[in-house]
Chains A and B, each alone.
Chain A
Amino acid sequence: MKNPCYINGIGAVNAQGIWNDDPFAHITEISNPLTMAMQPSYKELIPPAMIRRMSKGIKMGIFASQQALDEAAMDQVDAIITGTGLGCLEDSEKFLKNVLDNDEQFLTPTSFIQSTHNTVGAQIALRLGCKSYNFTYVNGATSFESALLDALMQIESKEANQVLVGGIDEIAGRTFALKQLVHEVKADGAVEKLKDSQSPGVNFGEGGTFFALNTEKRENTYAQILEVSILNKLATEEVVDFVTSFLTRNQLTLADVSAVVIGNNGDLKYDIYYTTFCTLFANQPQIFYKHLVGQSDVASAFGLAAAAFVLKKQIIPKTIQWNAIKLSELKYVLIYNQYLGKDHSLTLLRHVET
């Protein structure tokens, strides 16, 4: 018998600010190629001696993880699992620039130490004094789902009862200038909202989203995570089979799904995957979120937060609904994400009566 896995707390820092009781009420839709996260004050959370060495990725991770723990009333965890596509990119760039500028001499330790991908998970653990399982997944656009799958298995197999899982990614100048050159990011000067996308590339964002997972449901439980599935390569014509096989494994039909969360990012070439996916759910509400936080390798963590929010509140805010279909009861929500036609993932959530 597997242990159930409940989302009891959420924390986030992104272009909309921080996670709150009504995170989709007052939103600003992003339209710039690169949109930074709105940084909260970290001084109350992190001692000055530590904060001076931290890049924004680490700070966002610490803030979001603490927010999730606070909401779940958890002060210790059995595992900290992090997903990141590009890690602490600012310090990686700083370190590499130092190597070049100083002819491989005078290399200082700080930016190197802070540039490794597992720094965020390590700093969260250091702050909590947590010596338990600590793992970081760097798997492109399934980095977060890989972390989530590990967390789910840790809980279901009774290895852990309380898990902190999340994703962080940050924008840094040089890397994203290169991404603009290969048209992964829209060109400077482009002002296009997600649904009005006309030029190549997508609007990128940054941020951290964390979840406090628990085997026990509480009054404030958002939802139960039932399954996560990852597939690296998938042709558009294989999407239907990917989805139906996934639902069959969970003894569900397409009609059982109350709403879907889609990862549309305005990519003229690859959003066709979402169009194909949505044809299966033409009669259900469709939810999108990347118009709020932008694309990143872990943006789908915010998609999970959106799905958990609608299941808990049993309402879909207008600001995140893609179509116009309404349902009175939301029981199962299915999240689909892919990026550049690769790194496909499905995550299934169920409503929890508290």
Chain B
Amino acid sequence: MEELKEELKGKIIEVLNLEDISVADIDDSDALFGDGLGLDSIDALELIVLLDKEYGIKLSDPKQGKSIFESVNTMADYIAKNRTK
């Protein structure tokens, strides 16, 4: 799980082009949206595509997004349980 979290942080930084932020700067429990990393709705779309492309997870219910994308912890947990690749 720790390895997945580190990998996930790297991918988030890459796809969202988070300049000046390194893997070490993101805490597992930091909020991704709002006060934490300060991501926005376009980033949410990028994260949905990331789940699909990298882990074979299609989010069919948009309401799920809020809890899944809460933090790296919640994202990694959801990926571990639902990944198809």
Contacts and interface: CB of A to CB of B under 8 A. Distances in A.
A110 B53 contact: no
B60 interface: no
B38 to A, nearest CB: 6
Interface stretch (A22-30, A100-108, A129-137, A304-312): A100-108
B53 A102 contact: yes
Contacts, number: 29
Interface residues of B, number: 14
Interface residues of A, number: 13
B64 to A, nearest CB: 19
Contacts of B42: 53, 109-110, 113
A109 B49 CA distance: 10
Interface of A: 48-49, 51-53, 102, 105-110, 113
The 7 closest A-B pairs by CB, nearest first: A106-B53, A52-B17, A108-B49, A52-B19, A109-B45, A108-B46, A106-B49
Contacts of A102: 53
Contacts of B16: 52
B15 interface: yes
Interface in B1-33: 15-20
B40 interface: yes
Contact of B19 (A51, A105, A109, A113): A51
Nearest to B40: A49
Contacts of B20: 48
A113 B40 CA distance: 15
A112 to B, nearest CB: 11
B52 interface: yes
A203 to B, nearest CB: 30
B46 A109 contact: yes
Nearest to B38: A49
Contacts of B52: 105-106
B67 to A, nearest CB: 22
A68 B19 CA distance: 27
5 contacts: A49-B40, A52-B19, A102-B53, A105-B53, A107-B49
Given A48-B20, A102-B53, A108 B40 contact: no
